Structures are given as C-alpha cells and as structure tokens.
Amino acid sequence: MFDFYFEIPHWIRLIIQGLAVILVLFPIAAACSMAERKVAAWIQDRPGPNRTIAPILAWIPGIGFLRKLGLFQLAADGGKFMFKEDIVPAHVNKFYFVAAPILAVIPALTTVAFIPFGAYLDAAGKVVPLILANVDVGILAVFAISSLSVYSVILAGWASNSKYPFLGAVRASAQLISYELSMTLSVLPVFLWINGPLAGEAAGSFHGTLGLARVVEFQSQPGFVGGLWFGFIMPVSAFVYLVALFAETNRAPFDTVESEADLVNSFASEYGAFKWSLFYVAEYCHMIVGSAIFMLLFGGGWNPLPWVTLADFASLIGVAHLPIVTGLLGIGIFVGKVLAMIFFFMWVRWTLPRFRYDQVMKIGWQKLLPLSIGNLIFYAVAIALLTK
C-alpha cells in the first residue's frame, strides 16, 4: 500500500518527514496559547474565550463544542497576527530586529529532529523508535541547539534600542546561562547509568550513546529495576531538570524575563504582529521539546505505565502484529504525556507568583547547581558500588 513512498528519493522523503513533524509541532505550539488562556480561565473560575465563530460555520450542528473550547478564537488570533500591520520602529537596528524572531524559531523547531516522538513494533516484534535523526549525539545536540535561543533574546533586546527590552535581554541571558548548567548536570546521571558499567551486562555488545531513544529502551527492560522509570530511580535529577526547564523556557515562576510589571514586555516590547507571535510560538516549542525530553529521560517515553512497556501493552490489547496501530499507539501515549506536562506548566503558571530576579539567581547558583553536582557525584559513586 505504501510502497510508492519508499520509491521516492531518500532526501525528498527526509524533507517530507521533517515538514510533517514541523507542521504538527507548530500548530500544537500555537494551540498551546489558547490552552493557556483556557486553563487560566478555568483555574480562575471563569469560562474563558468561548464566543468567536465564523457566521458560516455557526450553521454546522454540534460545532458549539469547538466554539466553547475557543478554537475559532485561536484561528482569529492567528489570522490577526498574519495580517495586521507589521511595524518596525524607526529607532531599531533593522537587520537584527528582524533576525531575532527568526533566530528564536529556528532552534526551537530544529531540536525536534533529535526527539523520538513514538515507536512501533516491526514484524519481528522489535520496538523501533520514530525519530527524524536517530543520531548518537542525541541529548547533546538538543542542548547545543536549544541554548542558541538565548541569542534571539539578546539580539531582540539589543536591536530594539530601548531600555526595557535591553534590561530584559540582560536578565534573560544571565538566567538562561545559569540554569543551563544545572540542567545539563541533572541529566548526566541518566547517561552514566545507561552507558556505564551497568549497561554493559544489560546490553551485551552495546557501545554507548547519548541518543534519547536508547534511554527509553533502557526503561523498557524486564525485571523490577529494568521496568522502573528513571524518574523513580533518580527523583532528584528529575526535580532539578524540571525546575531548570521552567527557568530555561522562561515560564512562571521563573518568568522574570518578561515580568510585565517591571519590564513592560521585556525583549518583545518593541515587537508586534507576526514577529511577536513567533517569539511566543518559539517559547511553546521549547516547552514541548523540553517536556518531551523530560518524558523520555524520566517518564518512560512511550511506555504507558512503569513495568508495562509499549510491546506488552500492544500484545495485551491484541494489536502487536499491526505496525501502523502500534505506531499510532506509541505516538499517542508519548504525545499525551507531553501534553500532560504542558498542562502542568500552565497549572504552575496560574498557581505561583513570580520569583524576584535575585531569588532566581540565588536558586540557580546557590541551590540548584550544588544539588545537581551532589546528585551527579552520588550516582557516580552508586553506579561504581553497584558494579563492584
């Protein structure tokens, strides 16, 4: 049925796959903005945006449900961002001013290439991850590219040539760089665990990788420890990664970068229309990718429950011999977990007040960094002791 697809040249196939993933990621990131407004509304005991609808569509019966979810509001907002006048203020450095939002989106959409977003069972019953680029650098590439996004913030703030964007950019660069350290250190124990001596006995002729698909494979092994997700084995790592992720994506309570009370709209103050929306889509893309990594590293990836792998689950409901069904199942479970994480982000945002900037720095350098270093040492020693 799909043979024609495998006859077209490999590079065209790669482009199609890449576009397909981006065309899913970008709208999800955009839809997150509506989800954010709805979650905010529900938490604050109000219905949220629920009125907008195109008059023609209003005739379709049963569409009121989508209207109540604010779906048409989202479309209207998107259309507005596309078509409203895109003002470039006279006092900005035009080249960098235009470059900044582009630089924000590129790394945000690139990192998804290294993220396995699902898996399927092939004819032999082997779990094959679905991933655009299953390279060994994996997590390293994600961190390297996503850390580039700090440049877009700095450029936006600097090119805007006004004081609040500039202050925001300074804050952003300091904050992003501070929390990157703890974030990287917090995931190291996971890779020590799967690449160290412990992995040797489990994986046989396995040579070591920083790929994310391998991490999930490691959480899908038989046995008590084998089926345990890393979030249970390394709760401190998961906690540090999660806190650092909030800070890296500029989410509340670490959203000092855009703290509107003291910085107007921070680095995005001078932006409007489509360029402004690109910053926010990029932020949501970072959240999605960051949550995906959290779920891959600490949350068992596409495994529905601890000790219940995708393969077990598929054979339990009797679809193990259908690669397309298991593939959709794997993607569904994984995307569901990621969206649950996104909901958690929003839930936290509408619960916690923002930290003061000095508190953000203090937490990053004086609390989180020592904690992640201690955590790394603890697991290095533990792994050494476990292997004797």
- In the complex, minimum distance from the CB of residue 195 to other proteins, in angstroms, rounded to a whole number: 31
Q: Judged by CB under 8 A, which of 88, 305, 352, 384 binds other proteins?
A: 352
- CA proximity to 263, closest of 167, 160, 354, 175: 167
- In the complex, minimum distance from the CB of residue 35 to other proteins, in angstroms, rounded to a whole number: 13
- In the complex, minimum distance from the CB of residue 46 to other proteins, in angstroms, rounded to a whole number: 4
Binding mask 215-244 for other proteins (x = CB under 8 A): ------------------------------
- The contacts of residue 12 (CB under 8 Å, 6+ apart) are none
Our CB check for other proteins shows the closer of 22 and 41 to be 41
Q: Judged by CB under 8 A, which of 10, 46, 207, 388 binds other proteins?
A: 46
Q: Judged by CB under 8 A, which of 22, 24, 43, 106 binds other proteins?
A: 43
* Segment lying near other proteins (by CB under 8 A), choices 84-92, 220-228, 345-353, 375-383: 345-353
Eight-state DSSP code of residue 127: E
- CA proximity to 186, closest of 245, 253, 227: 245
Distance in angstroms (rounded) separating the CA atoms of residues 58 and 65? 11
- CA proximity to 112, closest of 212, 3, 231: 212
- CA proximity to 234, closest of 307, 300, 161, 172: 300
Our CB check for other proteins shows the closer of 151 and 350 to be 350
Distance in angstroms (rounded) separating the CA atoms of residues 178 and 284? 21
Our CB check for other proteins shows the closer of 39 and 142 to be 39
Q: Judged by CB under 8 A, which of 3, 7, 45, 201 binds other proteins?
A: 45
Our CB check for other proteins shows the closer of 337 and 349 to be 349
Long-range contacts of 87-95 (CB under 8 A, 24+ apart): 87/272, 87/273, 89/160, 89/270, 91/161, 91/162, 92/159, 92/160, 92/161, 92/270, 93/158, 93/159, 93/161, 94/159, 95/159
Q: Judged by CB under 8 A, which of 27, 47, 79, 200 binds other proteins?
A: 47
Residue 158: strand, helix, or coil: helix
- In the complex, minimum distance from the CB of residue 107 to other proteins, in angstroms, rounded to a whole number: 30
CA angle 274, 278, 283 (to 5 degrees): 150
Q: Judged by CB under 8 A, which of 1, 3, 4, 44 binds other proteins?
A: 44
* Segment lying near other proteins (by CB under 8 A), choices 197-205, 266-274, 290-298, 349-357: 349-357
- In the complex, minimum distance from the CB of residue 38 to other proteins, in angstroms, rounded to a whole number: 10
- In the complex, minimum distance from the CB of residue 343 to other proteins, in angstroms, rounded to a whole number: 10
- CA proximity to 247, closest of 175, 187, 182: 175
Stretch 67-126 residues interacting with other proteins (CB under 8 A):
none
Our CB check for other proteins shows the closer of 39 and 156 to be 39
By CB under 8 A, is residue 365 in contact with other proteins? Answer: no
Distance in angstroms (rounded) separating the CA atoms of residues 245 and 180? 9
Distance in angstroms (rounded) separating the CA atoms of residues 333 and 117? 10
Distance in angstroms (rounded) separating the CA atoms of residues 346 and 37? 9
Our CB check for other proteins shows the closer of 5 and 65 to be 65
* Segment lying near other proteins (by CB under 8 A), choices 75-83, 166-174, 314-322, 342-350: 342-350
Q: 313-339: string of b/e by CB count within 10 Å (b at 16+)?
A: bbeeeebbeeeebbbebbbebbbebbb
Our CB check for other proteins shows the closer of 235 and 332 to be 235
Contacting positions for other proteins (CB under 8 A): 39, 41-47, 347-348, 350-352
